[in-house]
Chain A
Amino acid sequence: MSKGNIFAVVLIVAAFFVGRHWFADTPTVMTDSRSGAGYSGGAESTGSARSGLVRAIHTAPRTGTVHEVREGELIMDKVKVAEPGDTILVYPGSYSETVYIDKDNIRLSGVIEKGQRAVLDGKGHLNDAVLYSGNDIVVENLLITKYKGNAIMGQAGNNFEIRNNIIVDTGVYGIFPQLGKNGIVTHNVISGIEDAAIYVGMSDNIHVAHNQVFESVAGIEIENSRHAIVENNYVTNNTGGILAFITPGLPVKTTYDVIIRNNFIVGNNHPNFGAPGSTVAGIPPGTGILIMAADEVVVEGNIISDNKTAGIIITDHNNAPNTTIDPESDPAPDKVAILDNLMHNNGYDTIDEAKALMLTEFKTGNPDIVRVGVSRDSCIINRHQYVTVGVDNWAECGFTHTGDIMTYLLDKPVEPREIDPSEVGKVAYLGICAGCHTYTGRMIGPPVQVIQALYMDNAQGLADYIANPVKKRDDYPEMPPQDYLDATTRLAVAEYMLSVSK
């Protein structure tokens, strides 16, 4: 055989394989999502009888006392005398304090006069603006700035409403309901947060809507939580826009049944300024939506554009940066459903890992959707619209929209959380400590197993430390004092922390 013939044979064989790849695709499946079957909710989801606007949990007229606070007075003085059912009105002016609400059914409400708000100013040295551990708490109409820890943190309170707040540069978390059931976070404007602007942690039945979050490391995070809807938010110029996560090592091990819909997720390309080594520090700038290990996440109706790494990244724990494996959590994001979204100009300056994945599928272009690692039973519609990698084998979804689900909020407020005295330490651990400390990993503070090694059986030493922490690690944020907890609770939570095993 002459050289020319060999060349021809090689060419034919090569053309066969290239052609098989290029032309063997099945005809484009076009799905009309304006009709068709609706999503009926994830595991254990219950229908809601609500209709119309989802704006509030507590709608009955308030009959309690109204306490007024004006500049020069302390909000905390009114909290101390308030009874459940009371309202605290905070008039425009500057307030520099930490408000800790450890009773039920209090409405903390700023009064906005001609655009002037009550300003809670941490002045760069206070840690938290508003902490609540009560149930049925409302926090609204405040302007919060220059705190080091949290703007508004819920600690195991149910039936919360956090709305109409403006939060600027408040440290680690902007709005952070932890271990809450049946809560609403709406119409807040949040920026400049070094972890998550809105962080829903270990919670259930949550509605996050109509918020504007920008210039934070993570925009909106649904973490180790179930039955959450994130809709109609404007999420722009964060490092990562909207995240549905299982963070390994937290006491609650699952995230499922999360709907992310009708959000603007635009230009989330902010440099990552999370503490190096922390979980969020691993988010590549330019990530629109990040789904890590969470199950039953439905993505629908979003405008996802100008995110330079990818519009949507779906990853398991094994392939996620700064993440270790929790044997108690399934590391794979299963039953993810990507319905119709407007995706445009994503992935134009993507990461090497995504490029390498695309090479394996002979793909070119800028990725809208990147899936890495294991994902079982996931589905997508109208995949032909996007540049994807890792989803060619996903099934067509059996539904095209989520219009049948108005909200996962409950029809009636849940019962206030009753805490048995023997459980004080555990609840404080879940509601407070687990916000920053996982058992095995570095979230914000050091892992619990490190704390256990450092303190061993010295619970009192740990209790003393949390009341008056000293900065010991240059590359970790400073621990805020937990001195609003009484000494008995501090010792109980220290004992509990030294005893947990996962």
Chain B
Amino acid sequence: MPKTVMQLVLIGFAFLSLSVLADPAKVYTTCAACHGDKGQGNPQLQGPVLAGLSGEYLTRQLQAFQQGKRGQHPQDVPGQQMAAMAKSLLSEETDLAALSAYIEQMPLPQQSTRLSGDLKSGNAYYQNNCGACHGGQGQGNPAFQAPRLAGQDSDYLRRQFMYFKRGIRGTDKSDKPGRQMAMMANTLPDDKLNDVLAFIGSL
């Protein structure tokens, strides 16, 4: 999205958000511009799928964006955008838990485009490197604060994985799940990432 349009959208929603702090459905209209009206995401805007993510995970990420623990790194441009939105549009009074709960109950997204890759290899590396926390079917596991991966946009997953691997995400001392993921991102052989993403896309 061109920068000017983004700014306009930003300003527009800023006014809107002031009046609708209480109702998560109304607050969500702010998010829908990039994440879709059903939380289905928007790959063109690099907005990840939100439907299917747990309220706990969403709240934690929103707080991380607000508090400057995520979306600060100069190489994480979409993260910077999200951090700006989280700070400006979601005021301190916004009930993040209510917003997250609202998103959590959105129906699971339909499958998007399939990535090509070796699914057998992807399954093996997924089960061995990822499944212990994210679940055998990519369903996520609240016991490890591990988000759902199934149904998520492959480009977003690849981008975040590389952020973890390169020290762009998951470095804040208070972000333990992020640091855990950063450690695991370094265990997957580089040439297997595409297969794993293809496997997740097939779930």
A residues engaging B (CB < 8 A)?
276-277, 321-325, 440-442, 446-447, 449-450, 452-454, 456, 472-476
* Cross-chain contact A324 with B124 (CB below 8 angstroms): yes
Known contacts A322-B123, A472-B141; A453/B184 CB under 8 A: yes
B109, CB-defined interface residue at 8 Å = no
Known contacts A322-B127, A456-B179, A473-B141; A440/B135 CB under 8 A: no
Which of B120, B136, B179, B189 contacts A276 (CB under 8 A)?
Answer: B136
Chain B: minimal CB distance from A429 (Å):
18
Complex Cα spacing A454 to B132, Å: 11
* Cross-chain contact A277 with B180 (CB below 8 angstroms): no
* Cross-chain contact B125 with A324 (CB below 8 angstroms): yes
Main secondary structure, interface of A, reads: loop
Known contacts A456-B180, A473-B141; A450/B132 CB under 8 A: yes
Which of A321, A442, A472 contacts B131 (CB under 8 A)?
Answer: A442
Q: Select the residue from B136, B179, B181 with max chain A CB neighbours within 10 A.
A: B136
Contacts A/B (CB < 8 Å), 13 sampled: A277-B127, A321-B123, A323-B124, A447-B129, A450-B129, A450-B132, A453-B184, A454-B144, A456-B180, A473-B132, A475-B131, A475-B136, A476-B132
Please name the residue on chain A nearest to B143 by beta carbon: A472
Please name the residue on chain A nearest to B183 by beta carbon: A453
Which of B123, B127, B187 contacts A449 (CB under 8 A)?
Answer: B187
* Cross-chain contact A475 with B135 (CB below 8 angstroms): yes
* Cross-chain contact A441 with B128 (CB below 8 angstroms): yes
Complex Cα spacing A441 to B187, Å: 11
Map CB proximity to A onto B38-55 as digits: 1 under 8 Å, 0 otherwise: 000000000000000000
B90, CB-defined interface residue at 8 Å = no
Which of B124, B180, B183 contacts A321 (CB under 8 A)?
Answer: B124
Map CB proximity to A onto B142-180 as digits: 1 under 8 Å, 0 otherwise: 011000000000000000000000000000000000011
Chain A: minimal CB distance from B96 (Å):
26
Contacts of B129 in A (CB 8 A): 324, 440, 447, 449-450
Chain B: minimal CB distance from A470 (Å):
8
Chain A: minimal CB distance from B79 (Å):
22
Chain A: minimal CB distance from B40 (Å):
26
Known contacts A324-B125, A473-B141; A277/B131 CB under 8 A: yes
Contacts of A440 in B (CB 8 A): 128-129, 187
B62, CB-defined interface residue at 8 Å = no
B86, CB-defined interface residue at 8 Å = no
Chain B: minimal CB distance from A444 (Å):
11
Contacts of B123 in A (CB 8 A): 277, 321-322
* Cross-chain contact A322 with B132 (CB below 8 angstroms): no
* Cross-chain contact B183 with A324 (CB below 8 angstroms): no
Chain A: minimal CB distance from B38 (Å):
27
Which of A277, A321, A476 contacts B120 (CB under 8 A)?
Answer: A321
B133, CB-defined interface residue at 8 Å = yes
* Cross-chain contact B136 with A277 (CB below 8 angstroms): yes
Going nearest first, the 4 A-B pairs with the smallest beta carbon separation are: A446-B132, A277-B127, A472-B143, A453-B183
Contacts of A475 in B (CB 8 A): 131, 135-137
Q: Select the residue from A322, A440, A450 with max chain B CB neighbours within 10 A.
A: A450
* Cross-chain contact A450 with B124 (CB below 8 angstroms): no
Chain A: minimal CB distance from B177 (Å):
9
Complex Cα spacing A441 to B125, Å: 8
Contacts of B136 in A (CB 8 A): 276-277, 475
Which of B125, B141, B180 contacts A453 (CB under 8 A)?
Answer: B180
* Cross-chain contact B120 with A324 (CB below 8 angstroms): no
* Cross-chain contact A442 with B132 (CB below 8 angstroms): yes
Chain A: minimal CB distance from B142 (Å):
9
* Cross-chain contact B128 with A442 (CB below 8 angstroms): yes
Contacts of B132 in A (CB 8 A): 442, 446-447, 450, 473, 476
Complex Cα spacing A323 to B132, Å: 15
Contacts of B143 in A (CB 8 A): 472-473
* Cross-chain contact A322 with B180 (CB below 8 angstroms): no
Known contacts A277-B136, A322-B124; A472/B179 CB under 8 A: no
Complex Cα spacing A454 to B128, Å: 15
Chain A: minimal CB distance from B172 (Å):
14
Complex Cα spacing A473 to B123, Å: 18
Complex Cα spacing A323 to B128, Å: 8
Which of B120, B135, B183 contacts A452 (CB under 8 A)?
Answer: B183
Complex Cα spacing A369 to B141, Å: 41
Please name the residue on chain A nearest to B123 by beta carbon: A322
Contacts of B179 in A (CB 8 A): 456
Contacts of A442 in B (CB 8 A): 127-128, 131-132
Chain B: minimal CB distance from A468 (Å):
15
Contacts of B187 in A (CB 8 A): 440, 449
Complex Cα spacing A447 to B184, Å: 11
Chain B: minimal CB distance from A452 (Å):
7
Complex Cα spacing A440 to B181, Å: 15
